[in-house]
Amino acid sequence: MYTNLKERTGALLAAAEDGDLASKLVDQFLILLIALNVFAVILQSVSLIGARFGGFFTWFEVVSVAVFSVEYVCRLWTATLSPHYHHPVVGRLKYALTPMALVDLVAIAPFFLSFIGVDLRFLRVLRLFRMFRILKLGRYSSALQAFGRVFSRTRAELALVGFTLLVALVLVSSLMYLVEGEVQPELFSSIPAAMWWSIVTLTTVGYGDAVPVTDLGRILGAFVAIAGIGLYALPTGILGAAFVQEMREERGGNAQVKKQDLD
């Protein structure tokens, strides 16, 4: 089944298959450790808790980084088992640049960078980067993986919608600057300043901190608010349709596998 330690290590770190109890235990342990790390970062942000249990948080961080570092090194070591990364050097470099490998690196990098002489503000940012460990859960969640496939499948359509929204934002901001600029120079002093109103209106948030006062401005504002509902419904419809298709394909594949097992 497994001819050497490298293959067994790769199987343990891969998504657990049916019947592989050791791999499932490794997955569950890493999922629990990731969840505890996120919870610890949240609790440590509370000054009273952080000051009282600072020693425990430090100890827990050291242990967590040690585990995640071993995991990262093992994944780099076993990456060459895949045909895509078979070269011992180039293959591992290619793997290290994949999204999930970068997430693994970001999960441990703040700890090691904290030993470099940096100011306290940058150190605080590095500590908050530990929250990125929650992205490691994507490796173990089939639902998150499905969402990733949906976004990948619809990237062209989403890019088109994004470009359309960008064009609408620029046009609406320009028109509102022309209409309201002289009347409200403190709110619509330039096209970039008018973009704030355009964003909150197109997204139908409408904070009310910047509103048109002229009749023409109000007409334009009403049109933009109505158009914003339709524009932001586009990506929802695209993602919804793609997600339904993904679920149908996944269920169809599972049904086919079960049929083959019965045969």
Distances in Å between the Cα of 189 and the Cα atoms of 68, 176, 220, 238, 244 are 51, 10, 17, 36, 45
Examine the domain organization and report whether 125 and 14 are in the same domain.
Answer: yes
Closest to 10 in 3D by CA, of 64, 86, 107: 86
pLDDT above 50 for 262: no
Higher pLDDT residue, 256 or 78? 78
For residues 236 and 226, is the Cβ–Cβ distance under 8 A?
Answer: no
Residue given tokens 């290590």 in the structure block = 9
Instruction: Say which residue, 249 or 61, is predicted with more confidence.
Output: 61
Token match 């450790």: residue?
Answer: 33
Domain total in the chain: 2
Domain that holds residue 244: 155-262
- pLDDT number for residue 171: 92
**Euclidean distance between CA atoms 8 and 64, whole angstroms:** 23
The CA distance from 220 to 166, in Å, is 17
165-190: average pLDDT? 90
Q: Is 187 in contact with 216 (CB distance < 8 Å)?
A: no
Question: Residues 6 or more apart from 69 whose CB is under 8 A from it?
Answer: 108
Boundary of a domain, candidates 91, 114, 140:
140
- Per-residue pLDDT for 73 more than 70? yes
Which of residues 129 and 29 earns the better pLDDT score? 29
- 113 and 13 in a common domain: yes
**Cα 138 to Cα 149: distance, rounded to the nearest angstrom:** 12
Q: Which of 254, 40, 9, 16 is nearest to 140 (CA)?
A: 16
Q: Cα–Cα distance between 115 and 111 in angstroms, integer?
A: 7
- Within-domain flag for 225: yes
Share of the chain above pLDDT 70, in %: 86
pLDDT surpasses 80 at 250: no
Which pLDDT band holds residue 175 (cuts at 50, 70, 90)? very high
DSSP per-residue letters across 17-37: PTT-HHHHHHHHHHHHHHHHH
Q: Are both 111 and 161 inside the same structural domain? A: no
Query: What is the value of pTM for the model shown?
Result: 0.66
**For residues 61 and 133, is the Cβ–Cβ distance under 8 A?**
no
**Residue the block writes with tokens 């409200």:** 184
| One domain, residues 14 and 91 | yes
Please report the pLDDT score of residue 257 as a whole number: 47
**Is the residue at 146 inside a domain?**
no
Same domain, 45 and 88: yes
Decide if pLDDT at 6 tops 70: yes
- Contact (CB, 8 A) for 162 and 170: no
Confidence band for 1, pLDDT divided at 50, 70 and 90: low
Do 9 and 127 belong to one domain?
Answer: yes
**Is pLDDT above 70 for 168?**
yes
* 79-126 per-position pLDDT tens digit: 998 888 888 899 999 999 998 888 888 888 878 877 776 555 555 666
pLDDT of residue 263: 54
In a domain, 149, yes or no: no
Residue 58 has pLDDT above 60, yes or no: yes
Could you give phi then psi for residue 186, rounded to 5 degrees?
Answer: -75, -25
Instruction: Tell me the C-alpha distance between 100 and 46, whole Å.
Output: 30
For residue 233, give the 3-state DSSP assignment. Answer: helix
